[in-house]
């Protein structure tokens, strides 16, 4: 009887525990910036004291998301357009390689030997074509680059493969076929942020993003549509709230911004950063100045190579933005 009672208790425990574990698994998959374990390969290498090999992070572009080794940095990627020498229809405004390390260190120039994630967003007003198919020195993920699905031999054992995911493209170049498959197989639709918005949202509106997120938008293909270009977990909420409370009121602004960031707190409340003005709406009609203290808590990870930043503003904000080109 004692053994049967113990077995019955174990069955009851499993009956209650398994749904809980399943729920936790769902939460882990849907959370922004989820970290899970991967087998490492020859192209999985630790860089600049960042994340440990085997960990991954999630990258976002419009309605797609994909997992990459967490120790990869961030850089740029080629864009489409008419540029002399761009026989493949792509041009690069900047240089191949990482511009930000996995621990958030901003580099003075692109490091082509560091694995990185690139988006088709210019980093310079100096553009060149004909280099998209060059043999790389390190693995990379391009997300949103207009390449046809399929594989390309880049020479030296490097293979680049592109897949279409939810209307966007995910491209991986490595010498490690298993790593390439793991990254590409992780690509799926995104649920954390809206893939596009028609206008800058109101802080008191409805249907905002998932709580605890940083969702960055900018005009990419059309001036009347804001596309999701980056997303991450909003881990700096306490520091941001403290800094915003100390920041002065922002001056009035009539210039419509071409990019903005939606910060959704853990309780679902929203702050909207207009980098063009620049200012932050922390409550309806309450605008605070965009300063280093109100920027640093959310402009982490790859954001410094995603958003252009203020046209005119505090020069101390330069470390967190690409900067106005031209």
DSSP-derived pairing of the beta strands 116-119 and 73-76: parallel
Q: Would you state the pLDDT for residue 9?
A: 31
Q: Is the dihedral of CA 72, 46, 110, 159 positive or negative?
A: negative
Report the C-alpha gap between 146 and 149 in whole angstroms: 9
Report the C-alpha gap between 191 and 174 in whole angstroms: 28
Q: Would you state the pLDDT for residue 148?
A: 93
> What parts of the chain have a pLDDT lower than 70?
1-53, 81-88, 205-208, 255-256, 312-313, 325-326
Q: Would you state the pLDDT for residue 88?
A: 64
Is 24 strand, coil or helix? helix
Q: Would you state the pLDDT for residue 74?
A: 98
Length of the chain: 326
Helix, strand, coil shares of the chain, percent, nearest 5, are 20, 30, 50
Q: Would you state the pLDDT for residue 193?
A: 93
Contact 138, 160 (CB under 8 A): no
The DSSP-derived string for 187-253 is: -EE--SS-SEESSPPPTT-SS---SSEEEEEE-SS-TT-EEEEEEEE-TTHHHHHHHHHHSPBPPP-
The DSSP-derived string for 95-122 is: -SSEEE-TT-PEEEEEETTS-EEEES--
Q: Would you state the pLDDT for residue 223?
A: 79
Q: How many CB atoms lie within 10 A of CB 73?
A: 29
The DSSP-derived string for 136-200 is: PSS-EEEES----SEEEEEETTEEEEEEEETTEEEEEEES-HHHHHHHHHH-EE--SS-SEESSP
Report the C-alpha gap between 75 and 96 in whole angstroms: 7
Q: Is the dihedral of CA 105, 106, 110, 115 positive or negative?
A: positive
Is 124 strand, coil or helix? coil
């Amino acid at each position: 009887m004692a053994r049967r009672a113990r077995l019955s208790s174990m069955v009851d425990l499993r009956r209650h525990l398994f749904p809980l574990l399943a729920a936790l698994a769902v939460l882990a998959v849907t959370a922004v910036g989820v970290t899970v374990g991967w087998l490492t390969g020859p192209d999985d290498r630790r860089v600049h004291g960042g994340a440990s090999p085997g960990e991954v992070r999630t990258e976002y572009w419009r309605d797609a998301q994909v997992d990459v080794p967490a120790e990869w940095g961030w850089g740029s990627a080629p864009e489409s357009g008419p540029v002399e020498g761009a026989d493949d229809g792509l041009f690069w405004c900047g240089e191949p390689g990482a511009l930000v390390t996995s621990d958030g260190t901003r580099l003075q120039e692109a490091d082509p030997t560091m694995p990185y994630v690139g988006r088709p967003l210019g980093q310079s007003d100096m553009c060149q074509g004909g280099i998209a198919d060059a043999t790389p020195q390190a693995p990379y993920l391009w997300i949103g680059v207009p390449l046809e699905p399929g594989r390309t031999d880049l020479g030296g054992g490097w293979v680049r493969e592109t897949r279409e995911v939810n209307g966007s493209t995910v491209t991986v170049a490595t010498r490690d076929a298993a790593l390439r498959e793991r990254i590409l197989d992780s690509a799926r639709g995104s649920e954390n942020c809206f893939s596009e918005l028609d206008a800058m949202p109101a802080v008191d509106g409805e249907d905002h993003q998932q709580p605890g997120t940083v969702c960055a938008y900018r005009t990419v293909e059309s001036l009347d549509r804001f596309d999701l270009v980056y997303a991450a977990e909003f881990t700096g909420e306490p520091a941001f709230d403290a800094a915003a409370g100390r920041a002065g009121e922002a001056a009035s602004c009539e210039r419509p911004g071409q990019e903005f960031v939606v910060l959704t707190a853990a309780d679902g409340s929203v702050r909207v950063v207009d980098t063009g003005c620049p200012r932050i709406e922390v409550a309806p009609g309450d605008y605070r100045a965009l300063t280093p203290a109100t920027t640093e808590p959310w402009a982490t990870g790859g954001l410094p190579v995603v958003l252009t930043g203020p046209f005119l503003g505090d020069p101390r904000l330069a470390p967190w933005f690409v900067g106005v080109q031209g």
